Structures are given as C-alpha cells and as structure tokens.
Amino acid sequence: MPTPQEATRMRSGTASDTAHLTARVRAADAVVEPSRRLLDDRFAALFVTEPPPPATSDEALQRLGAIDHAHGGFLAEILLRQRFFEHELIRSVADGVRQVVMLGAGYDTTALRMPGYDGLRYFEVDHPATQRAKLATLAQEMLSTPSVTYVPHDFEAGGSLVGALAEAGFDPAQPCIVGWLGVTFFLQPGALHQALAELAEICTAGSVLVFDYMDESVIDGTTPYRGALEMARKVGAEGEPYLTGLTPQSAAEAVRRAGFWPMEELRVPDLVKRFGGNDPYCNGDDFMGVMAAERAGNGEAA
C-alpha cells in the first residue's frame, strides 16, 4: 500500500487539481463587481472545467463566501499572494529585470495579462502533467504566448532545474524575478531545499524570489485553524497532500542559507490589509505567509 507521499497525483502523472482550484477561485473573483474584486484575472476562466464559472457577481460572492466560510484564509492567500507578486514584478522591471521564472506555474496567467510588458521573457516551469493540460487549453483557445518558454520539470524527480532552464534559454548572468506560489508545501523537504539551492545558481545578484509557505502547524495538525486542517484533509484525499511546512523563522533561515536576503514577509492578515480594499469578501486566518527575498551579491553574507 503506497504511503500518501508515494500515491500523489503528481507521481502518477495527473494534472494538478489544486491548480484547477486556484483557477476556479480566480475566475469567480473576476466576475465579482469591480469595486470588490481582489485580483481581476480575466483569463482564469479559460482553465476552469467543472463547475463553470459563476455568471453574476452575486453568484460569485456566494460561491467564494462558501469556500471562505469552510476554509478561511485560502481565498485571501490565493488571490492576494498574486497581487503581492505582481507588485514585486513591476518593481523588478523598473529596476531592469527582464526574465521572469514562474515555478509550479499551474494556470497562472501573468504572462497573458502582461505579455510583452517591456520586453519580458517568461519561463514557466511546471510538472509535465499540469503543463500539458495548460498547453492543451491554450491551443484549444488559439491563444499564443510568444513571450513564454515552457519548461517541464518535476521537482521530485531528481533532475536539474538549472539545466532545464539553461536548455530553455534562460540567462543566469542576467537578473530575474522568480514567482514560486502555491507550491512549496506540496514538495518533500528534500525537494524544497534542493530547489532553493538551485535557485541560488539561477539568480544572479539583484534577482528577487517571491514564494509562499504554509505553517508547519497545518502539516502536523496542531494549527487552531480548522478550515486549514479540513483543506489539508481534502487535498490529501484528492492525491495532493501538503507535505512540508515552515514557520516565519525557518522560511527566513532557509532563504538566507540559499544566499537570499529576506526583504518583506506578509502573513495572510497583512495581505488582506494591504491588498484587500475597504470591504474584502474574505477573512484572514493566519496560517500562511508570502515572502520576497533578494539574491545577495557576490561575497555578501545573506
């Protein structure tokens, strides 16, 4: 009998269902009336199969409210971590960065919404199964993404991320911004730390890494947030278990060890406060964090 770690969707080569869940949330948000919309991802609906996206703002708010009631904190994190990332992306581009690496990109649509934005090149790295599903939808919708190079890579399979990106034309001598959102907690600790070590090789000085993590207490079952535990149970039952958690301290230590300076960290309530507007429709249960870290220069201790 395989352990939960062995019997994952990713290992069996099935596209990620949590990537679909993320797209469903973003597609519903895009239907919410503009004054209460949190992200405005007009392409997310392309990737939604069942159930189809809501037709009206009221229906969208009802659906999102039900998820928020059952699993407080997830809506805010899914929608607003992306706002935080895009804020960092715009800042990096102003600083001259022209390479964007999306790790575990799923149905992320940043490249569709900001395609040739000042000559950016995107490298979307994802598990081959999820990436195939994304590419099939893009082809079906006849949407071309000339600014994107798709890089199939399984973080758990022992291959080299550095090698895969080099083969795809990524230039490690030029700075980049890396978005690693909604992924770290699905990896085994070894794969997570291996990826961080490889990021240090990919990211020259001045590069920025934005990643999120889930609290260790969700993984070990001691968190007081019942909605988080219930989500952990559900995704585990669907074959995408949460495997690795961090704390604000261990997340900062891990990036420092890899040679990055932690610049800013927002917990879910901070995300809601900064990006949620006057009347956010989601609550801020506090069991996840998103961090921006900068690659230290040669010889600098991080």
Ligand X SMILES: C[S@@+](CC[C@H](N)C(=O)[O-])C[C@H]1O[C@@H](n2cnc3c(N)ncnc32)[C@H](O)[C@@H]1O
Which residues contribute to the site for ligand X (CB under 6 A)? 10, 16, 18-19, 22, 104-108, 126-127, 130, 154-156, 181-183, 186
Helix (H) or strand (E) segment spanning residue 180 = strand 176-180
Pick from 48, 19, 17, 44: nearest CA to 30: 44
User: Which structure tokens are listed for 221?
Assistant: 């079952």
Residue number, 223 or 244, with CB nearest to ligand X? 244
Residue number, 105 or 200, with CB nearest to ligand X? 105
CB 215 within 8 A of CB 288: yes
Residue number, 16 or 223, with CB nearest to ligand X? 16
Least distance in angstroms from the C-beta of 204 to ligand X: 23
Least distance in angstroms from the C-beta of 11 to ligand X: 8
CA end-to-end span of the chain: 43
Least distance in angstroms from the C-beta of 99 to ligand X: 17
Least distance in angstroms from the C-beta of 35 to ligand X: 24
Least distance in angstroms from the C-beta of 234 to ligand X: 13
Residue number, 8 or 296, with CB nearest to ligand X? 8
Residue number, 156 or 261, with CB nearest to ligand X? 156
Neighbour order of strands in the sheet with 176-180: 148-152, 121-126, 99-103, 176-180, 208-214, 288-295, 260-267
d(CA 212, CA 301): 23
